[in-house]
Amino acid sequence: MADNNKKLFNLSGTTSPDGATMRIAIGNTGTTAYNMTLNGFKTWLGLTGISPTTILTKAVCIGSWNMDTTRVKCVSTGVALSKLRAISDITIISDSCEMFAPYYRNSNWELSLGVKVCCAPSTNALVALERNDGYFFDSSGFNNTAMNRGWIMVHYVC
């Protein structure tokens, strides 16, 4: 084939500035890059450097949560509150592996889940997820504690 065939993954073992996030390079080195994260695994396209103002994105697992019996779940983002820039999306997974937006409406158009970002008692930003009693997520279809209940998309700077 032509010269268009390029190595898709370059697993050089490069880590982020905090030394904790493994990244995979996709594309040619030395080119403009875009950041994305796939389930907590940092990925970038030809990334040559990160500045303190670069906005990074990661998916944080919600972890085990029996939504039927436990109303609130606090999840650490692993990011200092001062570096947090946005929580853009939250995905809730049912016991049958269906994915739902956290704001799945109740029959009277009230929302089924509330979200709050705080830092106490941790130095990292915490996302407090709270499902409403008697609404969509307060059911036996969301009570399996042997699975990850979903993901929170976190945007932050270095």
102 preceded by cis ω (within 30°)?
no
Q: In this structure, which amino acid lies at residue 42? A: K
pLDDT band at 49 (very low <50, low <70, confident <90, very high): low
- Between 49 and 98, name the one with better pLDDT: 98
**pLDDT at position 8, please?**
41
Tell the residue number behind the tokens 């929170």, with chain if given: 152
Q: Contact at 8 Å (CB) between 32 and 17?
A: no
39: pLDDT strictly greater than 50: no
133: pLDDT strictly greater than 60: yes
pTM equals 0.67
Distance between CA atoms of residues 15 and 34, nearest Å: 16
